[in-house]
Amino acid sequence: MSLPIHAPYGSHGAAAHRPQAARAPDAITMAALIEGLPDAVWLVDAADLRVLVANAAASRLLGVPAVDLCGRSMAELSSTPQDLCFWSEVAEGLCEGIVSDTLVQRADGAVLPVTRSVCRVAHDSASGSAGAVYVVVLQDRSAERQAEERHETLLAELRATLESTADGILVTDLAGRVGAYNQRFAVLWGLDAELLTRRDDDALRDWMQRSVADVAQYTERLAAIEQAAMLQTSDVFKLRSGRVLERVTLPQLSRGQPIGRVYSFRDITDKLAANQRIEQLSHTDALTGLPNRRLLTDRVEFALSMAQRDGSSFALLFLDLDRFKHINDSLGHHFGDRVLIDVAERIKSCLRQVDTVARLGGDEFVMLGHQADAAGAEATARRVIEAMARPFMLDGLSFTVTCSIGIALYPNDGTSMDELVRHADKAMYSVKEGGGAGYRFHLPRKDVDLRTRMRIDHAMRQALAQGRFRLHFQPQVHLTSGRVVGAEALLRWHDPEMGEMSPAEFIPVAEESGFIVAIGEWVVGEAVRQAAQWRARGMRLVVAVNVSALQFHKPGFVDSVSRVLSESDLPPQWLELELTESILIQDAQEALTRLEALARLGVRLSIDDFGTGYSSLAYLKRVPIGQLKIDRSFVDGLPGDDSDVAIVRAIIDMGRALHLQVIAEGVETEAQRQFLERAGCDLYQGFLFAPALDAPSFERLAAATLPAATRPMRLVSA
């Protein structure tokens, strides 16, 4: 009902309403009657359809003082076409009452939903004449409408939530009647359209029961869930379609009491397949499909438990392909992978069903022979070697791949997997050192050497970090003049626990572990700094340093030598690097390139232990070497051993022919020195003149051999 607040009493004016005053006593009486009612009420004169009185509730509802409502016509107060139509019918005597939901408009423009009730009531006026009024009652439905809207909003949000989840949701009451479900539930269970529209709970339950693979288990489990109203549970079952569903069940509560149950269904088929694949990959090699180290460990542990229980034995065979790197380098890793797959199949064909072959990585395989003795292990190794000897054929290319096999037996060669694998690995490397393509049993021996080497390796690293290494210098003497012209820098080490360590003990360990590179860099740096100090004091001596193969072939070796010389301000010709023949023949072209770079730098180069290697004269002509050092093994027999005499003379003559200086090491007797001098050797070093000395002692000894004019004015300890 529209309320034009500022309008006067319609178009009739004040005079037109004077008859209302005559009925004032009636209005007052009626106003008193309706004032206490909670709903909005006003009385309408049946004769002219104008408001006679209105209560306070009507004033609050419409936002208009009750006095301003009096005199308004129903045409003014009507808000909808339905109201206008009704009051028109009332005016024509066609209608006397109505109950309906409609809208009213407040003075502030807000529209309120109400339930409107209108009825005609006859009465006697104060003057005694009969009359009638219409009683209009309006019940405000705003709160109810807001509650309904909130409810609809909550339902929409709930519906959207159910549909947005990846799980299928089914809501039932305690009797199992379906309250709601989402589309994901219908998809997971494959519900057809007819079943969805029919809303038949029994048909739905029957469909679900017929869809599972194990009907009895499903039915039993569902019955247990329905009997326990507060049960929270999760279980997994399989559908006939092959999909696997996880069902989570939760009670639906209202004020703490169960009123139903919510089932959520999740398809975990792919998850289970992925987990199974992950589990498979965690135990198998991705390339060959063979067991990996983890699965091998499990099976070896099982074999150990069986052997400990019944006293049996078993064998572990470690296989490594010979020169497999050549295949990868020449034909590519993809081709190499195909070869490994073929190798795996050949090995499997040689084993019993109870045996295991695992790939540890690269081209390494381990075979576990259950309840196998030495004869059984040897028979297995022979079968594998024969299988590998058959030609491989890939992409039209025919080739042969051989293997080396090491064998360890339980319990003689170890009582754990680590021991057995380590010993089989050692035996395999023994085969490789003998040329490969064979097998060998582990030869039991004590592991004292291994533990000692580990102890030495650790102590070496600590010694370098803590500055415990030192250099001694053995004089290199001119055979004719007796003058000290150079020194060989030799490494010395005193360990607090192991005492004085011989280079023969720790250098091989350093070479095996690769730590010789770090030690070698320290030796070069210290030797160059010492030579620079001597040169600054007037002693111009060539300092010789031994270089390992690992150090020489390390990238950046030439640059590191150049940097040390520059930092110490030592001219390169006062540093001599002693190289073994093995260094020269390993990757000869690369070695020649580095030697030429060192020669351009100005560093002197010498071949150490000459005659014990395999270098050819043709190669010696190409390398920029300035000196040959005769190995002490040829000097020991001089001058009585004819073979040593012939070899030493040949080396000296060859040195002269190539214009190389020749120095002999290990000279301990005067007879040896005299022979070398007569043979034309240039320099010598050895205990005959002096052992390796610390820097101050060497400096004093060397200074004594120099001509007086070239001796340093003052000797200072280095």
Residue-wise pLDDT for 212-225, tens only, equals 999 999 999 988 88
Q: What is the pLDDT of residue 256?
A: 85
| Statement: residue 714 has pLDDT above 60 | no
* Whole-number Å distance between alpha carbons of 200 and 188: 18
Question: How sure is the predictor about 23, in pLDDT bands with cuts at 50, 70 and 90?
Answer: very low
The least confident of 172-176, 369-373, 436-440 is 172-176
How many other β-carbons are positioned within 10 Å of the β-carbon of residue 23? 17
**How large is the angle between the packed helices 503-513 and 516-536, nearest 10 degrees?**
120
| Statement: residue 713 has pLDDT above 70 | no
pLDDT average, residue stretch 433-458: 80
* Whole-number Å distance between alpha carbons of 116 and 139: 7
Q: What is the pLDDT of residue 197?
A: 75
Question: Whose structure tokens read 């070698």?
Answer: 520
Helices (H), strands (E): how many in the chain? Answer: 29, 26
- Contact of 107 with 2, CB cutoff 8 Å: no
Same fold, 284-445 and 473-487+541-710: no
Average pLDDT along the chain: 86
- For the domain covering 15-140, report its CATH number: 3.30.450.20
The 3-state DSSP class for residue 405 equals strand
Q: Looking at the domain 473-487+541-710, which fold is it?
A: TIM Barrel (3.20.20)
Q: What is the pLDDT of residue 16?
A: 37
Q: What is the pLDDT of residue 68?
A: 84
The half-sphere exposure of 272 on its side-chain side, counting CA atoms within 13 A, is: 12
Q: Looking at the domain 146-271, which fold is it?
A: Beta-Lactamase (3.30.450)
Residue 116: name the closest of 90, 147, 82, 71 by CA.
Answer: 82
Give me Rg for the CA atoms of the chain. Answer: 54
How does pLDDT run across 148-168, given as a tens digit for each residue? 878 777 766 666 666 667 788
How many other β-carbons are positioned within 10 Å of the β-carbon of residue 74? 23
* Whole-number Å distance between alpha carbons of 637 and 635: 6
Q: What is the pLDDT of residue 19?
A: 40
Residue 552: name the closest of 509, 593, 517, 600 by CA.
Answer: 517
Question: How sure is the predictor about 26, in pLDDT bands with cuts at 50, 70 and 90?
Answer: low
pLDDT average, residue stretch 57-67: 87
| Statement: residue 448 has pLDDT above 50 | no
| Statement: residue 255 has pLDDT above 90 | no
pLDDT average, residue stretch 251-262: 88
Backbone angles phi, psi at 359, to 5 degrees: -105, 120
Contacts within 8 Å (CB) and 24+ apart, 107-115 = 107/3, 107/5, 107/62, 107/63, 107/64, 108/63, 111/79, 112/61, 112/140, 112/141, 112/142, 113/140, 113/141, 113/142, 113/145, 114/40, 114/61, 114/138, 114/139, 114/140, 114/141, 115/139, 115/141
The half-sphere exposure of 646 on its side-chain side, counting CA atoms within 13 A, is: 3
* Whole-number Å distance between alpha carbons of 183 and 165: 10
How does pLDDT run across 576-604, given as a tens digit for each residue? 999 987 777 666 788 889 999 999 999 99
Contacts within 8 Å (CB) and 24+ apart, 467-470 = 468/493, 468/494, 468/495, 469/493, 469/519, 469/522, 469/523, 470/494, 470/694
Domain at 284-445, CATH from 2.40.128.110, 2.30.30.240, 3.30.70.270, 3.40.50.970: 3.30.70.270
Model's pTM, two decimal places?
0.48
How does pLDDT run across 379-402, given as a tens digit for each residue? 999 999 999 989 999 988 999 899
Question: How sure is the predictor about 616, in pLDDT bands with cuts at 50, 70 and 90?
Answer: low
Residues forming a β-bridge with 178 = 172
Residues forming a β-bridge with 264 = 169, 248
The half-sphere exposure of 540 on its side-chain side, counting CA atoms within 13 A, is: 7
DSSP state of 37: -
The 3-state DSSP class for residue 103 equals strand
Locate the domains of the chain by residue range: 15-140, 146-271, 284-445, 473-487+541-710
pLDDT average, residue stretch 293-320: 92
How does pLDDT run across 511-570, given as a tens digit for each residue? 888 999 999 999 999 999 999 999 999 999 999 999 998 899 898 999 999 999 999 999
Residue 222: name the closest of 256, 245, 242 by CA.
Answer: 245
State the first-to-last Cα distance of the chain, in angstroms, to the nearest integer: 116
Q: What is the pLDDT of residue 342?
A: 96
* Whole-number Å distance between alpha carbons of 6 and 68: 9
* Whole-number Å distance between alpha carbons of 302 and 307: 9
| Statement: residue 614 has pLDDT above 70 | no
Residues forming a β-bridge with 365 = 319, 359
Q: Which residue type sits at 531?
A: A
Question: How sure is the predictor about 1, in pLDDT bands with cuts at 50, 70 and 90?
Answer: very low
Residues forming a β-bridge with 478 = 683
**How large is the angle between the packed helices 588-601 and 557-568, nearest 10 degrees?**
20
Backbone angles phi, psi at 602, to 5 degrees: 105, 5
Which tops the pLDDT comparison, 338 or 705?
338
Strands 661-664 and 683-684: parallel
Q: What is the pLDDT of residue 10?
A: 34
| Statement: residue 490 has pLDDT above 80 | yes
How does pLDDT run across 121-139, given as a tens digit for each residue? 876 655 555 578 889 999 9
DSSP state of 213: S
Return the beta strands (E) in 13-147 as ranges: 40-45, 51-54, 97-105, 111-124, 130-140
pLDDT average, residue stretch 235-252: 91
How does pLDDT run across 321-338, given as a tens digit for each residue? 998 988 988 889 999 999
| Statement: residue 674 has pLDDT above 70 | yes
* Percentages (nearest 5) of helix, strand, coil residues in the chain: 45, 25, 30
pLDDT average, residue stretch 439-450: 72
| DSSP H stretches of helix in 514-603 | 516-536, 549-553, 557-568, 581-585, 588-601
Question: Whose structure tokens read 């001098």?
Answer: 677
